[in-house]
Each structure stands twice: as structure tokens, then as C-alpha cells.
Structure 1
Amino acid sequence: MKKLTLFASAFLLSLGSYAQQALWGGTNLVSPQINEDKTVTFRIHAPKASKVEIEGDFLPPTKVDTPFGPQDIPSRAPFKEGKNGVWEYTSSVLPSELYSYSLYVNDLKMPDPNNVYQNRDIATMTNIFLIGGGQADNYMVQEVPHGTVAKVWYSSPGLGMEARRMTVYTPAGYESSKKKYPVLYLLHGAGGDENAWTELGRAAQILDNLIAQGKAEPMIVVMPNGNGAQEAAPGEAPNSMVKPSFMNPKTMDGAIEKAFPDVMKYIEKNYRVYTDKNHRAIAGLSMGGFHSLYISAYYPNKFGYVGLFSAATSKQVNKGVTSDVYENLEDKLAVQFKNAPKLYWIGIGKTDFLYKDNMDFRKILDNNGYKYTYMETDGGHIWKNWRIYLTEFVPLLFK
């Protein structure tokens, strides 16, 4: 009996050293707490703190100068200290949206210890929460049929790689059907990877919900890695546990654009998809918009639908790069619009640092009489806008 007691004690000590935090380290605090009036209360137990603040995209932005011009960045708001070292902050009434935030305790940035829901955007981790009753309903997991999200590996001779990874969404019912589907190729921005649109962009939830509501055609969505030197997202390929960076090699040098048929070849061989122009769409945000613009112009007969979300539209963003992909754009557009895409869609925020570039690009389209659909939103170069653009763009496809 004594030996059994000693064994049990040793086991509990061992368990505590490895798993105590996971099993017993939590608190009873709720943060964030979404209140009935759509205000949100945040709490943290920090008895030794002299100052606690919150930084979030639901707060009025602060304008700062950047190498790209004036930009809006999240501002901070102070917590108030209450009983037993619990600090608290309650927001104003917030509209329906997906929000991101971080905490600062004595100016040390940290995640909310009471909120396990986080996103990685390049090398920054932030907590998230959703407020329903409007736009964010598109981003929530609803009681609808769900599609499948797979991480697949393909060969890319164009990039000299035996294996690269991409994310593929197939709609509910794909596995049990025999029919063919149209394809949307959806591209991420600088610093992103093949995980960005599903994690930050809520692409799977958006597609599930729009398809279930009858607002969008069932489609396959392909989200490749647009960093030509990467096999896969940081930490998810051999020898890749490095700090993610904003700019990566072989991103805007023409390599991704020229090698894009490798992605299409894999999809058309391994999935039941239509292979004609009017059943293919390509869209992307920022750098991915740049890729979408130049891929669709370089291969003018492959895409019947093109979406540019806050796109980098000028080859000046990659000064010094020489590639036939980027040369004579107006000539390429003339060929592309001779048999015009069914939809050429442009979205940009009013305070986006790429706003002027987009206006200049629209002038080219206007001067040549090329038809396009344009959407302008508040805010800058932010995921809030790109999720909105996806919910607006997808229902227009394959009609």
C-alpha cells in the first residue's frame, strides 16, 4: 500500500510538471465577453501590473508615416483595475465583424491568456473574436453542409521543385458526386502562404455559407503558396522553422506567374473540374492581386473571371526586375480583353496605400473601354476588406 501511495504521488508530481498548466492553470475569467448590446468586455488577472492596455482593429486608428505613405494602425485603450488584481475594459458598441486584438501589460505585448483563438499574420499573433448579426455571419461556422479543406502536394517543374504545398477547398457533396466543378484560384498577399485565406480570410466558412444560401455556385477553391522559394508555409516543410518574413525570394520576379500552369495541371488531373476559360477564375489580395493581374494577362485565354483585391497593379513595386511577364502590359491587356473576361473585378480601400496605383490602373482600363466592376470600401490594406471582397466576388462567378 505504501509503495502504491508513493507511486501515485510520483505520478501526480510528474503529471503536474508536464500537464498542470493545461489541466489546472486556467482561470474563471471570461475574455472576451460579447454582451447583449454588442459591446465587448475584456479581462485579465494582472495583480502586479501598473498599466494594462488593449490594441485592436475595433478602436479608432492612429495614422503613422510608413515607407508606403501614411497608414492607419490600431490604437490602444486603457483597462481599469478592479478587485483582486483583475483589470477590465469594455468597448463601444461594435458592428458585426471579425476583430483582432492584443494586450499590453506594462508595455509588454502579449496575447489574451483567456482567449485561445488566435491568428498568425506573417510573424504577428493576435487574438480574434466575432460579433454576429451581420457581415460576420459569413465568417462563422453555421449549421450548413460543410466542404473539405485539404493540404495537397504537387510537383512544380517551373519552380524546380519536386514538392510544393497548396490548400484545396472542395464543396459539400464533392466526394459523393460525379459531376464536374468550376475552379477559383485564390492567391494570398506578401508574407502570406497557402494557409492565409483559410485562417485569416475565413474562405472555407464564406464558401460554405454562400453555397448553402444559394448565393454562390458550388466550386473548388485552390489556394497555392505564392512564394516561389517556399515548399510550404513556415514550419510546415522540411527545414522551414524560421521566422516568417514579409518579403520572400521569387515572389514578384515572374517565376510564380510563369509556373502557374503547374498548379492548374495538378488540379485538372486530380479533381473533377471543367478545364475551359469560363469555368476558371483567379483572384488575389495585394501581391496575390498583382499575380492575378499578370497571370491572367500572360495567359489571356485561361481565366473568364479575374478579381483584384487591394492589388499591387504597377510593376514599379518590383523595380529592377526584368521579366517578359511584366513587359508591355497594355499590349497584353488588349489581347486579354479582345475576348474579354466575363468579370474583371477591382476592390480597394479608400485609405489603402495602393489606392493611387489602382486609380492609375483603372485609367488604363477606362481609356481603352475595357469593362470592369469596381468596389470601394472604407479602411486600408486590411483583412477586413479582403473578406468583404471575397463575399462580394464569389456570388458573381460562373453564372
Structure 2
Amino acid sequence: MKQFLSLVAVCIFSLSAWAQETVAVNTGDLISPEVKNQTVTFRLLAPEAREVWVETDFFEKSRQQTPLGEVEMAGRQRMEKGENGVWSYTVALPAPELHTYCFYVDGVRMLDPSNVYMLRDIATYMNYFLVDGALSENYFVREVPHGTVAKVWYPSPSLGMERRRMMVYTPAGYEEGTKRYPVLYLLHGAGGDENAWSELGRAVQILDNLIAQGKAEPMIVVMPNGNGAQQAVPGEYPNSMYKPSFMNPKTMEGSYEKAFPDIMNFVESHYRTINDKAHRAIAGLSMGGFHSLYISANYPDKFDYVGLFSAAINRESKGENTYIYKNLEEKLATQFAAAPKLYFIAIGNADFLYQDNVEFRQLLDRHGYKYEYAETDGGHEWRNWRKYLNNWLPKLFK
């Protein structure tokens, strides 16, 4: 018995020591990134490395040709090796924003082991840090009443699925009250999923803060999965442990737009919504902007507020759902005859979809359709989409 107890004690001690050692290996005393005196310093312990680079979203970018057109690529800077094998690079503090970065060690991409804060964009993980300021003040968790975010499963008979998942934000006080609320359907881009806006887009923090400030109306926000062949985020439904990819089946061939009433029917039968056009909005980024364009055009009596953030515009489709994309001008005529309260278009001046958006606005201008337009610096990136959401939400349901 004594031998058994001794063995148990040794095992417990070993596990405890291993856990403590793991913590020490992962973090130690190294601080990275360190924001201090209007600078930020990145550090990495890599004593055997020959060269280390840091790549961030705020270094000077390069432009490269890709199958999608000319796009901006993140910039890199070489780090300096110091004492004890610690590499470092210090730079002036960037503009207020959520900033992402990673390291390249002898050509191999890696994350910062000293920073536990990470984001996934499609199949790429990045570390991040926040710089506070006027442009980013709503991206932080503040001492304000917080809404609730739920992972909600719903049936989609139009897609032949018994269960699909979406994220649903309900404002602070929803659970305790009886009030009905307007609804925003917020759609992600290609390669994204139902987590994209709440994680990369800081949508929850933006909503909590704007509502608490009295700048935005309390609302329900539905963030669905826009990949019609997926039930949910890869890895979170049966037989889905595969690497996420940029383009997925049933995303831009009409299936999702055709099935969108499944989402609306579930939301309006399970939440206290105000079920009329004046209290519905739809918006999305990139592919989600494409979906918002065609969903609102095909269901012209459903949405008084439409937001196209760096939207994909043009699509040639083959198959049974091509009617979704055909006769767009006629559909827009019907939609704008009912005068939507706000049709909003925003894009960065370096976005590879910029010219498509110019041509779409020219189409609207030819017909005299009213819309609001915002143009920002930069390309096809989250710092623009967070900004558009932050600026657009206060305009809704007024």
C-alpha cells in the first residue's frame, strides 16, 4: 500500500512539474509584443536560428499578381539577435487597430510562443494585439453591459441538411425582457465561416460598445455559415476534420441565396424579432457582400438596410440556380422602387475588387438609385471591414 501511495505521489509530482515546465517553456520571462513608450517590440527566443523575420499587417506592403488579381501582401522586417539567443525588433507604435503578426525562422512561418492571443483566418493562424485609440476604441472589451453570443443549430431543408450552425448575438437584457428587436444578418467572406465576424471582425465588442454608448439601436445579429456544403466550422460537425479552404462548394452558385429563407424563418420563429422590412438589415464582406447584394435583390420586400463591404459583384453561374444571378438590373429596379432606407457600399482604394465596385456604382448612378458610399485606404482586409461595421451600425433602424 505504501509503495502504491508513493507511486501515486511521484506521478502527481511529475505531472505537476511537467505542467509548470510547460508554462515556463511557453512563456518564461519574455514579453512579446511589448507596447511601451509609443513603440512595440517583438521578441523570440531562437538561439540556433540563422535569421528571423517578423511579418505584420502594418509594415509597408508589396503588391503581387494572384489568380484574384493584384493584391497587397504583408511586409516583413529582419529581427536582430541579442543576448541569450533572443531576437527582437522595435518599431513605432502603429495606428489604433487590431494588428496581426507572425515570425519567419530560417524561412519557416511560426507563431509567437509568448503571445497566447491568436486568430484564424481560413487556414492561417496569426498572433494579434490591440492598440487603443479613437479608431479602435470599440474593438476592446469595456465595462459595459454585454450581449450574449450563442452557437445555434437550425434545419435547412433547402440545402438538404437537418442541422446547420450560425452564431446569434442578442443584446444585453434580451434574456430578462419581452421586447422585440430588429435583426441584422451579417455575412462572412470566402473561406470564412460563422465564427469570422465575432472573432476577426470584433463584431461582439463593437455591438456592445455602440449600444452602450447609445449610438446603435439594440439589435439581434445573425452570423450564418455561408458555405452551403458545410454544416458549421470545419472540425465542429461530424466528419469535418479537414483543412479549411478559400473557396468551397455551394458558395457562389445560388444554393446559399436560395436557402436563405431557412435562416430567416428559424430566427423569426425562435427569437423576439420585429418581422418587417423596416427592421431587417443584411450586410457582408467580399463573398458576404456578394450574397447580400443578390439576397436583397431576389427578396426585395425583406430588407430596408443593405451593406456591401468590399463586395464581390460579378458572377457567371451554371446549373439549376442561375436564376439567382440573372436579370440583376430588373431585380434592382424592383428593389429600389420600394426605396430602401440605406443602401451602403464601402471599399478600400487598393482592393482588387475596386473596379468591379466602380462599375456597379455606375450602374446604380445611371438609374438614379440612391446609395451611400465610403472609400478608405488599403485593400481587401479586416481592418477595413471592422471600420465599415463600426461606422454603419449607428445608421441602422433609425
TM-score category by the smaller chain? over 0.9
Q: Which residue of 1 aligns with 2:242?
A: 242
**1: CA distance between counterparts of 2:260 and 2:318?**
22
**2: CA distance between counterparts of 1:232 and 1:25?**
31
Matches within 5 A, 1:6-155: 6-16=7-17, 20-22=21-23, 25-37=26-38, 39-155=39-155
**2: CA distance between counterparts of 1:308 and 1:93?**
31
**Cα deviation code 1:242-289 (max 9, x no counterpart):** 100001100011111111111011110110010000000000000000
Residues 35 and 219 of structure 1: is their aligned pair in 2 closer, same or farther, counting only changes over 3 Å? same
Q: What is the CA-CA distance between 1:139 and the residue it aligns to?
A: 0.6
Matches within 5 A, 1:297-376: 297-316=297-316, 318=317, 323-376=322-375
Q: What is the CA-CA distance between 1:4 and the residue it aligns to?
A: 4.7
**1: CA distance between counterparts of 2:19 and 2:30?**
23
Q: Which residue of 2 aligns with 1:286?
A: 286
Q: TM-score, normalised by structure 2?
A: 0.96
Q: Which residue of 1 aligns with 2:395?
A: 396
Residues 313 and 125 of structure 1: is their aligned pair in 2 closer, same or farther, counting only changes over 3 Å? same
Q: What is the CA-CA distance between 1:310 and the residue it aligns to?
A: 0.2
Q: What is the CA-CA distance between 1:136 and the residue it aligns to?
A: 1.6
**2: CA distance between counterparts of 1:184 and 1:198?**
14
> Contact 2:181–2:218 at 8 Å: present in 1 too?
yes
Q: What is the CA-CA distance between 1:142 and the residue it aligns to?
A: 0.6
Q: Which residue of 1 aligns with 2:186?
A: 186
**2: CA distance between counterparts of 1:396 and 1:301?**
20
Can you give the 5+ residue segments of structure 1 that lack an aligned partner in the other structure? none
Residues 19 and 156 of structure 1: is their aligned pair in 2 closer, same or farther, counting only changes over 3 Å? farther
Identity of aligned residues (%): 61
Q: Counterpart of 2:331 in 1: which secondary structure?
A: helix
Q: What is the CA-CA distance between 1:69 and the residue it aligns to?
A: 2.0
Q: TM-score, normalised by structure 1?
A: 0.96
AA aligned to 1:27 is G
AA aligned to 2:22 is Q
**1: CA distance between counterparts of 2:8 and 2:271?**
55
Q: Counterpart of 2:54 in 1: which secondary structure?
A: strand
The total of aligned residue pairs comes to 397
Q: Counterpart of 1:263 in 2: which secondary structure?
A: helix
**2: CA distance between counterparts of 1:241 and 1:2?**
44
**Cα deviation code 1:63-84 (max 9, x no counterpart):** 1111122211001101111111
Q: Counterpart of 1:158 in 2: which secondary structure?
A: helix
**Cα deviation code 1:185-220 (max 9, x no counterpart):** 000000000000001001000000111111100000
**2: CA distance between counterparts of 1:90 and 1:321?**
56
Q: Counterpart of 1:324 in 2: which secondary structure?
A: helix
**2: CA distance between counterparts of 1:222 and 1:52?**
42
**1: CA distance between counterparts of 2:123 and 2:25?**
30
Q: Counterpart of 2:197 in 1: which secondary structure?
A: helix
**1: CA distance between counterparts of 2:339 and 2:364?**
12
**2: CA distance between counterparts of 1:14 and 1:58?**
42
Q: What is the CA-CA distance between 1:341 and the residue it aligns to?
A: 0.7
**1: CA distance between counterparts of 2:234 and 2:267?**
23
Matches within 5 A, 1:252-263: 252-263=252-263
Can you give the 5+ residue segments of structure 2 that lack an aligned partner in the other structure? none
Q: What is the CA-CA distance between 1:175 and the residue it aligns to?
A: 0.9
> Contact 1:97–1:134 at 8 Å: present in 2 too?
no
**2: CA distance between counterparts of 1:212 and 1:8?**
52
Residues 242 and 62 of structure 1: is their aligned pair in 2 closer, same or farther, counting only changes over 3 Å? same
**2: CA distance between counterparts of 1:25 and 1:306?**
45
**2: CA distance between counterparts of 1:285 and 1:385?**
10
**Cα deviation code 1:135-176 (max 9, x no counterpart):** 121111011110000000001111111000000000111111
AA aligned to 1:34 is V
**2: CA distance between counterparts of 1:178 and 1:101?**
44
> Contact 2:26–2:114 at 8 Å: present in 1 too?
no
Q: Counterpart of 1:300 in 2: which secondary structure?
A: coil
